[in-house]
A and B are shown apart, each in its own frame.
Chain A
Amino acid sequence: MVIDNMLYNLGRYVTLMRSTVARPEKFSMYYKETIRQMDAIGVGSVFIVLLISVFIGMVTAVQFADQLGDSFVPSYYIGYIVRDITIIEMAPTITCLVLAGKVGSNIAAEIGGMRQKEHIDAMEIMGVNTAAYLIMPKVLAAVVVIPMLVAISAFVSIIGGYISTVLPGTISHTEYVLGLRSFFVPRYVFMMFVKAAVFAFLLTSVSCYMGYYVKGGSIELGEASTNAVVVSDVLILVFDFLIALLLT
C-alpha cells in the first residue's frame, strides 16, 4: 500500500514536471514572474540564512577548538575544518533544510490556496498552462538564487568561526587565516554548488507538487504544507548522500 502510494505520487510528480517544460504563452509574463520569485525566495530569505550561517560557523569553530584541546593537531586546523565543513556540508544542506521549511511551505500553501479558490481552474479555462506558469518560474528562480544564498551562507559561516575563536583569543587571526588557506580543494566548491542547485530543484518542485494537487479544505492545505517540508527534507538528505557518493 505504501509502495503503491509512493509509485503513484512519483508518477504524478514526473508527469507534472514534464508538463512544466513547455513553450511559454508569453515570455514576458514568465520573465516577470521569475524575477518576482527570485525576489521572494532570494531576498526574502537572506536574513534567516545569515542568522543560521553565522551561528553554524561559530558553533563549528568552538566545538572543534574544544575537540583539539591540548592535542598535537596544530590550532590553525580550526580555520581549515570550519572552511571545509561549511563548504561541503553545512552551507548547502542546512541552508536548504531551512529553506525547505520557509520557502517550501510557503510555495505549497500559495499554490494549494490557489487550487482551493479555483484560481488554477480560472487560469486553465483562460488557456494558461498552469503547471508551466505556476511552477517553472519558481523552480527556475530557486535554482538560480539558492546557490547564491548558499555561497553567502558559506562565507558568513567562515566569518562566524572567526568571531567565535579569534575574538575571544582561542587562536590568532594569522592562524585562522592560515587554516582557511591550507589544503584548499576547489572541487569542494563545485560540489557545494551542485548540491545547492539539486536541493533547490527538489525543495521547490516537491512543494509545488504538494500544493498543485491539494484537495479539500484548510486541514488538507496544512497537511500539504507539512508534507512539502517533510518530503523535501528527506529528499535533500538522500540526495546529499548520493551526491557525496558520486562526487568524492
Chain B
Amino acid sequence: MIRTQDITKSFGENEVLKGITTEFYDGKPNLIIGSSGAGKTVLLKLLVGLFTPTTGKVFYDDVDLFSLDDDAIREVRMKVGMLFQGNALFDSMTVGENIRFPMDMFTKKTLKEKTKRVDECLEMVNMEGINDRFPSEVSGGMQKRVGIARAMVLEPKYLFCDEPNSGLDPKTSILIDELICDLTNRNNITTVINTHDMNSVMGIGDNIVLLKDGHLVWQGDKTQVLESEKEVLQDFIFASPFLRRLREDALKQRHAHD
C-alpha cells in the first residue's frame, strides 16, 4: 500500500498540490483523475520520487520514502515499475533489449534466463515474437504493451501508469486497461494510474482520487461515481449532455431494479 500524508508541492510561487492525504491499495487499480493542470502528473512523479514534496510524506507500506538516502531510495525503486505517457522506450534498443535492460542492470541472470523472462513478459502482454523489432517499427498500442512488459520484468510490487490510454483508440484503450487490471489482480501489486479517460474510470476504477486545482476533492470507486451528487465530480466525469443523459438512464435502471 502507498499512503500520502498532507503532501504539498510548490514550484516557485505556484502551489500545485495542496495537502493531499490519501491511500492507494494493493491488488486493485487506483486511479488519479482530474482535468489538465489539476496536479495529477506532479502527484504521480512525487509518488515515485522523481519530485520531492515541499511538505508532507509518502509511505511505501510503512517506509517514509523521502526519509531514505539515495541508495535506499534506489532499492525501493527496484520494486517499482512505471509506464510513461510517451512509453520512454529506448529508441536505439530493440523491444527485447528494452525489456531486458533492467535485468542487465540489476540481476546476475544468464543471457538464456533473461531471454526466457523477456519472452514471458511479451507473452503476458500478448506481444510474442516482436523481440527483434525496434520501438519505431511497432504501433502506439504495441509500444504501450512493451512499456508494460518492461515495467513488469523485475516483478514489481508497485506499478505506476501515466496516461496509459493517451493517443490510443477506444478499443485498444480498453485492452490496455484490462491488461493492467489483470496484472494488478494476478500479482497483487499496488497500481496507480493517472488518467482522464472516462472508460477507464467506469471500467477499472476500484479506487478513484479526483484532483481539482491541487486539492483532493473526492475519493471513491466506480459504483459511487454514478451515485454521487457531488457537483465537481459530476461536472468532470459526465461533462457532456449525452453523458449526463446516460447517467440518468443508468440511475433509473438501477433504482427500478432495486
Contacts and interface: CB of A to CB of B under 8 A. Distances in A.
B84 A122 contact: yes
A13 B74 CA distance: 22
Interface residues of A, number: 14
- Interface bracket on B: 20 to 34
B84 A121 contact: yes
Contacts of B84: 118, 121-122
A128 B88 contact: no
Contacts of B91: 117
B106 A118 contact: no
Contacts of B77: 124-127
A127 B86 contact: no
Given A118-B84, A119-B88, A122-B84, A127 B106 contact: yes
A183 to B, nearest CB: 50
Contacts of A122: 82, 84, 88
A128 to B, nearest CB: 6
B78 interface: yes
A121 B78 CA distance: 13
A29 interface: yes
B80 interface: yes
Nearest to A24: B105
The interface centre, meaning the residue of B45, B48, B81, B105 with most chain A CB atoms within 10 A of its CB, is: B105
Contact of A29 (B45, B78, B80, B104): B104
Given A122-B82, A124-B50, A26 B105 contact: yes
A26 B90 contact: no
The interface centre, meaning the residue of A119, A125, A127, A129 with most chain B CB atoms within 10 A of its CB, is: A125
Interface string B77-110: 1101110111010110000000001101110000
Contacts of B82: 122, 125
Contacts of A220: none
Interface in A121-165: 121-122, 124-129
A127 B104 CA distance: 12
A39 interface: no
B50 A126 contact: no
B90 A119 contact: yes
A26 B77 CA distance: 16
B88 A126 contact: no
B88 A121 contact: yes
Given A118-B86, A129-B74, A26 B50 contact: no
B71 to A, nearest CB: 9
A66 interface: no
Nearest to B104: A29
B201 to A, nearest CB: 24
Interface string A24-65: 011001000000000000000000000000000000000000
Contacts of B13: none
B41 to A, nearest CB: 11
A58 to B, nearest CB: 39
Contact of A127 (B75, B88, B90, B160): B75
Contacts of A125: 48, 50, 77, 80-82, 160
A25 B81 CA distance: 18
A124 B75 CA distance: 11
A74 B50 CA distance: 68
A119 B160 CA distance: 15
Given A124-B50, A127-B77, A26 B88 contact: no
Contacts of A117: 86, 88, 91
22 contacts: A25-B106, A26-B105, A118-B85, A118-B88, A119-B88, A121-B45, A121-B84, A122-B82, A122-B84, A124-B50, A124-B77, A125-B48, A125-B50, A125-B77, A125-B80, A126-B78, A126-B101, A126-B105, A126-B154, A127-B78, A127-B106, A128-B74
Which 8 A-B pairs rank lowest in CB-CB distance, beginning with the nearest? A122-B88, A118-B88, A127-B77, A127-B78, A127-B74, A125-B82, A118-B84, A126-B102
Interface of B: 45, 48, 50, 70, 74-75, 77-78, 80-82, 84-86, 88, 90-91, 101-102, 104-106, 154, 160
